[in-house]
Structure 1
Amino acid sequence: MIHEVDADLVILGAGLAGLSLAARLARKRSGPRVVLLEPRTAYRDDRSWCFWRPEQHDLSHLVSRRWKTWTFSDAAGLTVRHQVPGLAYQYVRGSDFYVSAQADIAESPRVELCLGVRAGTVTAVSGGVRVESSAGTLLARQVIDTRPRAAATMLYQSFVGLELERDCPLPFDPGEVTLMGSLASDAEGLGFVYALPLGPNRAIVEWTRFGTAPIDRDRLVLELDRVLNGLGLADAHRVRSEGGVLAMGLGRQAAPPITGVVHAGNAGGALRAASGYGFLRIARWAQLCTERLLAGREAVGHPEEPRLRRTFDRIFLQAVRAHPERTAEYFLALARGVPPAALVRFLSDGARAADYARIISSLPWSPFIAQLAAPTVFSPAPAVPVAADVTATPSTSTSEQG
């Protein structure tokens, strides 16, 4: 038995999931001894996370912008505007989240963030878990692994974005988000513009693609440049960039489980398969895990998707794989045919049976009926795990990085 451990809990990876859990534990007066291992040496403003919530909530202190209107449009300019009374689309800037979480951790004598440390082999040993790292060996009672893992997946959401600024107003209404703009699809899949106006003269503009394989970043950058040229923004000052690849609809992991180790974060099932949203899902997991750890129980990964949600997401992603050239049609049909409140509930994991009925009735039946009994098809796992903890670009697959 291990009687002397270095920590009660070691968290591998201090991105959104690792920091969310550690910060919650750090704010408690008592709790387990926690060590986070993170390979980056410093945090930079490289992420954006968005979600729908009422004006005030438990994460309000992190929100820097809110919008009451969000829009969908096709390549021809047809625009659909959505609002839901009492709800706003809300934006958390990555740098604000990092500063807040690190401040909480710095105040706790029980939680330690180790930057510049890369975790390696993880092994179950008698009474605990051994973690090999670039800084040496750690013994822990439990481990939560939030690192990216290579896995087969149904679809990939690849995107790149820029925060832009210029002296004169940008071509966006500061009061509304372009959730999915200029929707267009072809044999490769779907492409669309996502724009978050941060003020009259500043905005985040992203170009996103859905497909069965990750899209090369250089290609995405060229396509985003064409989008910016079309918007008259080629000369805008580029403040910062962000981007990544989201694996949507993960297959089973090939590696056998390790006793005492659970997986969390995007590679552990945090992302909604049909949309790519993950921020609130990670927050809910962090709260659940905190409660369990404070009660002296074992850590847990993300809960399994309810059957109805899991089934619908599978059918939707399968239909997108089978007919990529129709994907823009699917999304416009949802935007036009589903009441905004029902669509937001679906994207926020709160859909009711009646909401699913409205979603199904708005879509063309034949491609979806064909997938009811079809076997699930995955794209092979990439040789290197795709970036996991990235911007929650809304893919309203029916579309929150994470």
Structure 2
Amino acid sequence: MSRLPVVAVVGAPNVGKSSLINRILRRRDAVVSDQPGTTRDRSYNRADWAGAEFDLVDTGGMVPRAKVGLESLVTLQARVAVEEADVILHLTDARLGPTEADAAIARELRRSPAKVVLAVNKLDNPADDTERHGFHSLGEGEPHAVSAIHGLGVGDLLDAVVALLPETPAEEDSDLPRLAIVGRPNVGKSTLLNRLLGAERAVVSEVAGTTTDAVAGEVEFETAGGRERYLLLDTAGVSKTARKASGVPYYSSLRTSGAIRRSDVSLLLVDAVEGVVAGDLRVAREIQESGRACGVLVNKRDLVSPDRLREVAEGVAARLTDLKPHSLPISALTGAGVEDVLPFASRVRAAYRLRVPTHEIAEFVNALVDRNAPPRGVKIRYATQTGTTPPRFTLFANRPDDLPDNYIRYVENALRERYDLWGVAVGVKARSSR
């Protein structure tokens, strides 16, 4: 499979990497904050410049001396991005001058086979870029003066980057189905993502909220009909205060919402120990309101009894009544059941994309009406599927306004049972047959 060239943006904490990413992408995609360490995982975005396309990787601030704790995990993420990169964009801060952290990062980058472009950020006066010259000491070639906030020098910087990109064939199969892994903070989303990808791509920590940015990767698996591929999206945990929060929690909640909207299927992780709680219901509601499909993964099955797993599954069925998703017990930590996650997601996606022949729906609904006719003299004359992703159906009746909601729900439940429409918001409405 061909791929786009990879450009990794690295640097010490708070030098403006996310601001530069946003400037290059021409949208507010990376989380930006004055607080060092805002970006923790590496996130991938497709970018283009002067006719060249490439994957642009935003990374957390590198602290090469860090040996333990979150700083070391974030630095590991940046190092993985360096290993994957064809071109490395090393960003520094003109206001601080060349620091020991910059020098340590430069020493690491010299061991990489990738080409390195040095940029000096926060040079906001185009008439005076003399401060960039001090960065020659890093030994990474000509320092490029930029102001990520104002966009100064970014075009020249991208010209230098694009000139170093390897030639690649056109990317194949770019429009992959998207699978979002969502849930409350610290339920094991990043651990599951790493299991599925087979790589330490997302930061895993016992500190709730460790994952701040959405992280994407591709997976594929064997099916009876061949191989299927998905683009995985990891998301920040949705906390109960996210709607009222400002700063990083607020923007992280926006990123989670965006990942749900971009997905075909969202896998909602539920903690087997805690069971279904209000936070899970909030995420499920967001999936439903976004019109996306949902499967529930009951994580940490290794910590509970089979009776507890049955109890949680019953709680999923009882409390997520609008989507009625099926659940799958797994342990992201030990890997138990993880081999079933992608086939499980595939079945949910098949329900989401269901298309039934018109004559088949009409015959099925006619049989329902014969068994249980609608009240109040309403006659359903015809039925058809009128949409997909998620499936939507229309009943044509003589007096649609008199068709009770409970009868609509009766038809909906019958359709869900007949066509395995678990985890999707089945739409059924009535219209006049006149």
Question: With structure 2 as the length reference, what TM-score do the two structures score?
Answer: 0.25
Which protein has the bigger strand share?
1
Flag the structure with larger Rg: 2
Which protein has the bigger helix share?
2
Q: Identify the structure with bigger relative contact order (alpha carbons < 8 Å, sequence gap 6+).
A: 1
Question: With structure 1 as the length reference, what TM-score do the two structures score?
Answer: 0.26
